[in-house]
Amino acid sequence: MAGKTARGSKAPGYKCSECGWTTVKWVGRCGECQAWGTVTETGTTVARTTAAATVLEPALPIASVDAAAAAFLATGVDELDRVLGGGLVPGAVILLAGEPGVGKSTLLLDVAARFARTGQDVLYVTGEESAAQVKLRAERIDAVADTLYLSAETDLSQALGQVERVSPRLLVVDSVQTLSSPEVEGSAGGVSQVREVAASLIAAAKKRNMTTLLVGHVTKDGSIAGPRLLEHLVDVVCQFEGERHSRLRLIRAVKNRYGPTDEVGCFDLNEDGIVGLADPSGLFVSRTKEPVSGTCITVTLEGRRPLVAEVQSLLATSSNAQPRRATSGLDSSRVAMLLAVLQQRAGCQLHKDDSYVATVGGVKLSEPATDLAVALAVASAKAGKALSSRLIAFGEVGLAGEVRPVPGINKRIQEASRLGFTHAVVPASPNGPGPVPAGFTVKEVEHLAQALELLFHG
């Protein structure tokens, strides 16, 4: 009959290559993920599977399922284990994404070597370097092990053949965008190729109960390159972050089926490789013999982890009609707002001064809890009076000058006390700051002017 499609045939339609959204008419922008130019013509299968097949493995009551087969295996890198929730889960597929040069390959090569030293077979497939180049880096970072196998492959079938031959417990693929299948159209890194490569590797990982680590590239805006379907297929998605000119590297779990997503791992990238930092606060605090005006220490929370950082400010009389406002490691619009609040609500005349506000060590502070430390650093620079080197301050500052409570007040105080600080200026909270360590003094403030009065005129 005209206008109807026969059962099992293909009906013309259009599909988004990024998220899989379908439509009967072509549009330039996907209605689901809002991506431009990703909707292409395809066919929509009309047939439906309705016949029941013979069950090979009957469903089991959840209480009788043996969870020992999915127990965590430690990687030997404590900071990575923290982010993953305890280690590697057999059969899990983990995607590690980050910008070029951030240290993804170095970290995974170190993880592969540590895992291999436990007596397990590990296969490292590289599509971006030769085996000799990987060996040079492995020798530099002391990542050579007898059961660590290297394979330089860009063909998916060859890589799967290596998996069949080695039968590794851990597979590392660097990177998923460099592999391609001759049976799929398109070049390596394309949407179709990435989808096919990821699906094949995931199927092999689940079949062999083999943990798989995939390296993923990122786009200009920092999102993972390739179809969004890739993030849905894998079990864990980790983001590797870090400034090119800073030694600090952070790993965050964006998605984790086996653990929390609010943990952060800290690493130090140097000429000898990448090393986990159990206590990275020393990178973000300057070492001066005498207190200097224009500096203030704060405690920020990265996930559930408190980190001590220092904010520095410098004011200079401007020779321009429009004073300069420069920031580093802080949100420039938020710093400009705090300068306006200082002038209008606290009486600090800053309209004729060039202001420079930065963090120490290249750390980025985006949490609103750092507002009070930024304001106190600027006020200290304006007054020419140094704050105590044993003082910390944190709290969100509003446009009315009020200091608002922030999460984890007691956790921040405990961390500051552990590192030798003795005084804290914190926002007033209905529940108070909680138990305070012995010898530690806490001053609660409700307004920015109250904090300035306490520190500079108290």
335 labeled binding residue: no
The rounded distance, in Å, linking the Cα atoms of 320 and 339 is 18
86 labeled binding residue: no
186 labeled binding residue: no
Joined tokens for residue 159: 């890589």
The rounded distance, in Å, linking the Cα atoms of 380 and 398 is 19
**HEC assignment per residue over the chain:** CCCCCCCCCEEEEEEECCCCCEECCCCCECCCCCCECCEEEEEEECCCCCCCCCCCCCCCCHHHCCHHHHCCECCCCHHHHHHHCCCECCCCEEEEEECCCCCHHHHHHHHHHHHHCCCCCEEEEECCCCHHHHHHHHHHCCCCCCCEEEEECCEHHHHHHHHHHHCCCEEEEECCCCCECCCCCCCCCCHHHHHHHHHHHHHHHHHHCCEEEEEECECCCCCECCCCHHHHHCCEEEEEECCCCCCEEEEEEEEECCCCCCCEEEEEEECCEEEECCCHHHHHCCCCCCCCCCEEEEEEEECCEEEEEEEEEEEEECCCCCCCEEEECECHHHHHHHHHHHHHHHCCCCCCEEEEEEECCCCCECCHHHHHHHHHHHHHHHHCCCCCCCEEECCEECCCCEEECCCCHHHHHHHHHHCCCCEEEEECCCCCCCCCCCCCEEEEECEHHHHHHHHHCC
Strand partners, 275: 268
102 labeled binding residue: yes
The rounded distance, in Å, linking the Cα atoms of 383 and 380 is 5
The rounded distance, in Å, linking the Cα atoms of 216 and 409 is 37
122 labeled binding residue: no
Joined tokens for residue 177: 């965008």
98 labeled binding residue: yes
Annotated binding residues for ATP: 98-105
Annotated binding residues: 98-105
